Structure 1
Amino acid sequence: MNNDIDSALARFAGAEPHAGLAGLEDRVMCAIASRSSSSGLAMGASLSAAAFALVLGIVSNAVPLAEARAVSTLAPFGAPSPLAPSSLLLEPR
């Protein structure tokens, strides 16, 4: 089975790589190395954000605003559930 995609892929496979791609890996690695040397500020910001998230999680767990309670009990058998699809479709909006 020879489709247009097959012939296009065959042309790409036989084509020479673009000249601008020569040395691309070296340029990318140099760019990464230059960014990692100046990442001291980013590391400090990341650590302070992590510390803030940790403190916020501890405080929000230690100081609850109100006790959580269920509004209504949902029984799988018996009375129809207020969240059943059949009851949601029949109610006017």
Structure 2
Amino acid sequence: MNMELDEVLGRLSAAPVPPGLAEIEDRVFARVREEAAFAAQATNRLRIGAIAVVAALGLGVAAGSPVTAVAAPNTLSPFGPSSPLAPSTLLASG
């Protein structure tokens, strides 16, 4: 097995270097720099997310808090349940 491995490694070392292999190091380091820049923005994203959560909680508490009911003024409406302007009350009183 060692002989076969030595032969394969010898053929590999004699083969020409692929052209894309020369620039792979630059591409790898460029990608590492991109990832580092993206990770540096994590605190900003975390801050914005925390603000959104606090705002959502505030809106939820405000919408779910008990509110005292205000009595609506008695208004005249021809289609209300006990309206003095209903045709039945107008005909009965006349």
- What TM-score do you get using the length of structure 2 for normalisation? 0.38
Greater helix share, structure number: 2
Choose 1 or 2 for highest CA Rg.
2
- What TM-score do you get using the length of structure 1 for normalisation? 0.38
